[in-house]
A and B are shown apart, each in its own frame.
Chain A
Amino acid sequence: GAVVSQHPSWVICKSGTSVKIECRSLDFQATTMFWYRQFPKQSLMLMATSNEGSKATYEQGVEKDKFLINHASLTLSTLTVTSAHPEDSSFYICSALYLRGNNEQFFGPGTRLTVL
């Protein structure tokens, strides 16, 4: 149990375009999901907390108009990187909060974004 998927696993796009990343909890309902970003040789940085049916909570320094988060169902959260630029190239990872356990977070496999 507690499986989280992400799609796509990698994407290459041109500067100025938008990219949507999907995060799904496959075998449980997740009222809360999280979006992280990880640059090479650095740790995970929380970008935002996504709650089903409400607006996401963004961490300080994360532009909410650039990183649009939608959590429209109990199994799906999406992150859209709008007007992507090369500095947005990173490894984006989502996690879902598994409430039946000990409030543990289970991670998706990640999406590697490269902006040319």
Chain B
Amino acid sequence: QKEVEQNSGPLSVPEGAIASLNCTYSDRGSQSFFWYRQYSGKSPELIMSIYSNGDKEDGRFTAQLNKASQYVSLLIRDSQPSDSATYLCAVDLSGYSTLTFGKGTMLLVSP
């Protein structure tokens, strides 16, 4: 069964620290990977997409992809209390733009 796995957390970090969120996926042939942020009671909002091995940076966010290890991560630098949310890893396992979501990691940033 094709799966996307994330630690449920919560991951607690102090304000200003780096938060590291991890995700593994089961299908070695997957090509498209996404990170979404979801605040409680709200819908997901796209943070980043990544398609090639290596790092991709956007502001305080860096996505890292290692297809050989079937591993994708999200680093949040200078974490802020407003970053406290559930972070969802999503993978296009099918190749047809349908996404399989992990269960999400709850991040708590304390002031």
Contact = CB atoms under 8 A, between A and B. Distances in A.
B46 A106 contact: yes
Interface stretch (B59-67, B74-82, B100-108): B100-108
User: Is the interface on chain A under 10, 10 to 19, 20 to 34, or 35 or more residues?
Assistant: 10 to 19
Given A32-B97, A43-B103, A44-B88, A109 B43 contact: yes
B1 to A, nearest CB: 11
Contacts, number: 46
A46 B98 contact: yes
Interface stretch (A13-21, A62-70, A74-82, A97-105): A97-105
A45 B9 CA distance: 20
**Most B CB within 10 A of own CB, among A42, A44, A103, A110:** A44
B97 A107 contact: no
Contact of A107 (B32, B43, B96): B43
Top 10 nearest A-B pairs (CB, nearest first) are A110-B43, A107-B43, A43-B103, A44-B101, A43-B101, A93-B43, A107-B44, A102-B49, A103-B97, A109-B43
